[in-house]
């Protein structure tokens, strides 16, 4: 009698053997590593602290969701614009932001975590429909667009890489940035499978090699290894406390949580498909992960709070890790918990964070020319996926006003939009104004649009 081959893979409540457990966990750490560390390098946050916060926040997420949602928490690019606006011009010679600036950002991130928690509680009580009435894709998509576009200038100007005025230094940095950019784009387009999930990492590696070769082809020395082993092998990550008086940082950072809700929702639905496909093939009962959107958003918010209590940047559940789980068919919650512990242990290895800090700005920002554009494109993708009617006067009004306030305010008034003696953060102002405008225009809007559609149909007939 022929035997039926069992389906390989691990469901959320299953655990691989010890050897496989460690290998799968290490893979998850490596997958989240490039993007998470890139956020630290761009914002001036400490790399070791960022890695530590990622692991600890993941453990907090798995705990609050009671092991029902297999997701890994990493640093989010959505928050880059307001945080980089705070740290721009403040970075020290070692590329790190002063503790006082990080502390201010911490408070803003903690308060943004509360937004996600409140959204999660509303979803759990009333359903996602209530959230979408206040935060339709016209708002969330526009905010994602604004975030990407406002980061465009930073990517280009920072691609120069380091403080040098000589033309040869500037030219060398541009060459390295372009090599990194083209490599990253090429890898994202042509690599498939597991390798296709790591285009940014591979692009940065190519750019880093180019930077190392610079002095051998007549260019300046860009990479400096002198500090890699200057602080011993093991040390505590650099912890800072939040500044609870930093309300301007709250106004700048807190509304960004609005843009992360659709992203987190999409990730959860994606995960539900993958997990239940494996469950069906293994003859197991379905895992109702999509029904846990509320607690997922609560876990996201808790992750932000946990990470920022210690000096880490804001984060989100990582699509890279979801894709890796889908490819390897390993959705074990225990495995993700072990990955989080490994990340925490790695944060104590001082040469690791020092080595990462040797990556030149030209390399990082060369990759970010592509990356920030993708963030903006995701805003368009949100509106396409939700089938936003771009011929609706109401939708066009909300998108147009939100975009101009956000982008125009950011570039024309970098220190804040003047308004009755106060300075309003551009992105936060755009988000709040867009929400209020959408609610106002929604009054009687559905009936009016239905009448317009009916009139149009009669004309066509």
Please provide the DSSP assignment of 182-217 as one string.
HHHHHHHHH--TTGGG-HHHHHHHHHHHHHHHGGGG
Average pLDDT of span 364-392: 83
| Spatial CB neighbours of 208, under 8 Å, sequence gap ≥ 6 | 223, 359, 360, 363
φ, ψ of residue 315 to 5 degrees: the values are -145, -170
Reply yes or no on whether the pLDDT at 255 is more than 60: yes
Radius of gyration of the chain (CA): 23
| Alpha carbon distance 24, 16 (integer Å) | 9
Average pLDDT in the chain: 84
Q: Would you state the pLDDT for residue 51? A: 94
Reply yes or no on whether the pLDDT at 340 is more than 50: yes
Contacts 24+ apart (CB under 8 A), 91-95: 91/44, 92/44, 94/227, 94/357, 95/41, 95/44, 95/357, 95/361
% residues pLDDT > 90 (the chain): 31
Could you tell me if 378 and 144 are in contact, meaning their C-beta atoms sit under 8 angstroms apart? yes
Reply yes or no on whether the pLDDT at 457 is more than 50: no
Burial 301-314 (b: 16+ CB within 10 A, else e): bbbbbbbbbbbbbb
Q: Which residue is associated with the tokens 């502390």?
A: 103
pLDDT band (50, 70, 90) for residue 162: very low
% residues pLDDT > 70 (the chain): 91
φ, ψ of residue 292 to 5 degrees: the values are -105, 30
pLDDT band (50, 70, 90) for residue 431: confident
Q: Would you state the pLDDT for residue 91? A: 78
| Alpha carbon distance 255, 432 (integer Å) | 8
Average pLDDT of span 204-211: 91
| Alpha carbon distance 452, 341 (integer Å) | 58
Burial 13-26 (b: 16+ CB within 10 A, else e): ebebeeeebeebbe
Reply yes or no on whether the pLDDT at 66 is more than 80: yes
Q: How many CB atoms lie within 10 A of CB 233?
A: 10
| Alpha carbon distance 94, 353 (integer Å) | 12
Q: How many CB atoms lie within 10 A of CB 454?
A: 10
pLDDT, tens digit, for every residue of 112-140? Answer: 999 999 999 998 888 877 777 887 889 88
Average pLDDT of span 242-270: 84
Reply yes or no on whether the pLDDT at 445 is more than 80: no
Burial 124-138 (b: 16+ CB within 10 A, else e): eeeeeeebbeebbbb
Alpha carbon distances (Å) from 28 to 40, 63, 70, 109:
19, 18, 12, 25
Average pLDDT of span 369-396: 85
pLDDT, tens digit, for every residue of 291-322? Answer: 898 999 999 999 999 999 999 999 888 877 88
Reply yes or no on whether the pLDDT at 398 is more than 90: yes
Q: Would you state the pLDDT for residue 369? A: 83
φ, ψ of residue 67 to 5 degrees: the values are 70, 20
**What is the number of helices (H) and of strands (E) in the chain?**
20, 4
Angle ∠(262,27,6) on CA atoms, nearest 5: 90
Reply yes or no on whether the pLDDT at 331 is more than 50: yes
- Where are the alpha helices (H) located in 16-98, listed in sequence order? 18-43, 47-64, 80-87
Could you tell me if 317 and 202 are in contact, meaning their C-beta atoms sit under 8 angstroms apart? no
Closest C-alpha to 110, from 315, 255, 318, 309: 309
| Spatial CB neighbours of 402, under 8 Å, sequence gap ≥ 6 | 138, 139, 142, 143, 146, 430, 431, 433, 434, 437
Average pLDDT of span 258-273: 79
Reply yes or no on whether the pLDDT at 167 is more than 80: no
Tokens of 292: 């846990």
Tell me 408's DSSP state.
I
pLDDT, tens digit, for every residue of 230-239? Answer: 778 888 999 9
More confident residue, 161 or 107: 107
Q: Distance between alpha carbon 379 and the CA centroid of its chain, in Å?
A: 13
| Alpha carbon distance 69, 62 (integer Å) | 7
Reply yes or no on whether the pLDDT at 169 is more than 70: no
| Alpha carbon distance 336, 65 (integer Å) | 13
Burial 427-439 (b: 16+ CB within 10 A, else e): bbbbbbbbbebbe
pLDDT, tens digit, for every residue of 349-362? Answer: 988 878 877 888 78
φ, ψ of residue 307 to 5 degrees: the values are -60, -45
Q: How many CB atoms lie within 10 A of CB 417?
A: 18
| Alpha carbon distance 318, 198 (integer Å) | 13
């Amino acid at each position: 009698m022929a035997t039926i081959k069992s389906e390989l893979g691990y469901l959320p409540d299953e655990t691989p053997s010890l050897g496989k457990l460690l290998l799968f966990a290490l893979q998850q750490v490596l997958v989240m590593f490039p993007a998470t560390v890139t956020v630290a390098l761009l914002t001036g946050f400490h790399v070791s602290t960022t890695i530590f916060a990622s692991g600890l926040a993941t453990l907090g997420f798995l705990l609050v969701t009671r092991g029902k949602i297999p997701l890994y928490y990493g640093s989010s690019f959505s928050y880059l614009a307001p945080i980089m606006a705070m740290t721009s011009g403040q970075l020290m010679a070692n590329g790190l932001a002063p503790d006082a600036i990080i502390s201010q950002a911490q408070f803003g991130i903690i308060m943004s975590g509360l937004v996600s928690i409140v959204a999660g509680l509303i979803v759990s009580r009333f359903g996602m429909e209530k959230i979408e009435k206040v935060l339709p894709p016209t708002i969330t998509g526009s905010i994602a667009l604004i975030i990407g576009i406002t980061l465009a200038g930073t990517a280009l100007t920072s691609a120069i890489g380091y403080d040098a005025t000589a033309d040869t230094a500037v030219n060398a940095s541009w060459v390295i940035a372009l090599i990194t950019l083209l490599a990253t784009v090429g890898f994202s387009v042509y690599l498939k499978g597991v390798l296709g999930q790591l285009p940014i990492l591979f692009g940065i590696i190519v750019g880093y090699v180019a930077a190392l070769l610079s002095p051998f082809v007549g260019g300046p020395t860009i990479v400096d290894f002198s500090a890699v082993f200057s602080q011993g092998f093991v040390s505590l990550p650099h912890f800072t406390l939040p500044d609870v008086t930093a309300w301007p940082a709250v106004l700048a950072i807190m509304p960004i949580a609005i843009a992360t809700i659709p992203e987190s929702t999409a990730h959860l639905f994606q995960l539900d498909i993958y997990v239940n496909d494996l469950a069906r093939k293994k003859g197991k009962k379905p895992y109702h992960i999509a029904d846990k959107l509320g607690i997922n958003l609560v876990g996201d918010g808790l992750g932000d709070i946990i990470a920022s209590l210690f000096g880490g940047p804001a984060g989100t559940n990582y699509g890279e890790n979801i894709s890796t789980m889908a490819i390897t068919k390993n959705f074990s919650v225990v495995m993700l918990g072990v990955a989080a512990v490994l990340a925490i242990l790695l944060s104590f290895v001082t040469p690791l964070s020092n080595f990462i800090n040797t990556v030149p700005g030209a390399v990082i920002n060369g990759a970010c020319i592509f990356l920030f554009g993708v963030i903006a494109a995701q805003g368009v993708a949100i509106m396409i996926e939700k089938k936003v009617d771009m011929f609706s006067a109401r939708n066009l009004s909300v998108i147009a006003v939100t975009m101009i306030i956000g982008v125009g305010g950011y570039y024309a008034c970098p220190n804040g939009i003047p308004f009755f003696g106060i300075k309003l953060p551009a992105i936060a102002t755009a988000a709040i104004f867009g929400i209020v405008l959408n609610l106002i225009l929604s009054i009687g809007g559905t009936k009016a649009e239905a009448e317009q559609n009916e009139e149009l149909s009669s004309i066509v007939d």
